[in-house]
Amino acid sequence: MVQDALLLNRLNWDDRARVHGQDRVYDSESLVAGASSLTEVEEEAIQQAVGSVAGLQVIHLQCHIGFDSISLARAGALVTGLDFSPVALAKAAGLAQRCGVDLALVEADACHPPTHLFGCFDLAYATIGVLCWIGDLDAWMRAAHDLMRPGGSLALVEIHPFVGMIDSLVPLRLDFPYSFDGPHFLDTPGSYTDPRAPVQSTATVQYAHSLGEVVTASIRAGLTVRWLREHTAAPRDYRGDLGAPESDGRYRVRLGGEPVPMLYTLVADRPV
């Protein structure tokens, strides 16, 4: 079952990676021209975790086609991108070459990284849309812990599980649980970059993880939680249905007029 879910998800991500890179989310030409893909939320997470990445060994978990990996490398980090999709990694390698940036790239399940990488990294970095693919949260956190050197830090920026429950805002409709209740078999056309994108393998298996479950898994893995922030505004429309940003340039989901949490940032350390 676990292997089937992993295979189904990998086929979907291989297909998505094939079509990503020329769209509103992944603008390769801007990246190659020097734009950073890091938003204020990722910058803040890095600032809280390690201050600056310059000169640090960074493992970018579930790096996809390498936009943030390249941005981190440009900021002076020595970056290893890890993903289970060979298509995503090939695209990351091509983009890194076009950007004139060195990346080490590793094809692996984020829950079972190669042991020769254990203890190598000052920072484990993972963002936006990573944990919903992970059935065994404890294994993911243990892997992050083991990849870091003692004293290293995890910076995790993720979609908040509250907003992850919402299928439609108008009318308000929920279609996903707040907390873990096992696998969800989904069949969704296209991708978040474009629902009409030619993705052949559309079946996926996804999992809900509440904020409490994420924090508890990190503690169970041996990490010390240092900082947890819930963001009621986001620098991007990660859902694709939020319309225009508000007057400060940020996107919000408002229910009854009040902004609800859209993202969270967790910073946790591997004790020395």
Q: Where does this chain bind ligand SAM (CB under 6 A)?
A: 9, 13, 62, 64, 67-68, 83-85, 88, 109-111, 127-130, 133
Tell me the closest approach of the beta carbon of residue 31 to ligand SAM, in angstroms.
11
**14 Cα distance to chain centroid:** 16
Reading the block at residue 182, the tokens are 């096992």
Tell me the closest approach of the beta carbon of residue 230 to ligand SAM, in angstroms.
19
Cβ proximity to ligand SAM: between 44 and 68 the closer is 68
Instruction: Give yes or no for a contact between 262 and 251, defined as CB atoms under 8 angstroms apart.
Output: yes
Tell me the closest approach of the beta carbon of residue 109 to ligand SAM, in angstroms.
4
Q: Tokens 């919000």 identify what position? A: 252
Q: What is the CA radius of gyration of the chain?
A: 18
Instruction: Give yes or no for a contact between 81 and 105, defined as CB atoms under 8 angstroms apart.
Output: yes
Cβ proximity to ligand SAM: between 112 and 229 the closer is 112
Q: Which residue is nearest to ligand SAM (CB)?
A: 129
Tell me the closest approach of the beta carbon of residue 25 to ligand SAM, in angstroms.
8
**117 Cα distance to chain centroid:** 20
Say how far apart CA 219 and CA 217 lie, in whole Å.
5
Q: What element of type H or E holds 218?
A: helix 211-220
Cβ proximity to ligand SAM: between 2 and 271 the closer is 2
* CA distance readout (Å), 247 to 221, 231, 237, 244: 41, 17, 14, 9
Tell me the closest approach of the beta carbon of residue 172 to ligand SAM, in angstroms.
25
Cβ proximity to ligand SAM: between 266 and 272 the closer is 266
Cβ proximity to ligand SAM: between 141 and 170 the closer is 141
* CA distance readout (Å), 7 to 3, 11, 65, 165: 6, 6, 19, 25
Q: What element of type H or E holds 154?
A: strand 148-159
Tell me the closest approach of the beta carbon of residue 10 to ligand SAM, in angstroms.
7
Cβ proximity to ligand SAM: between 13 and 264 the closer is 13
Q: Tokens 């042991």 identify what position? A: 115
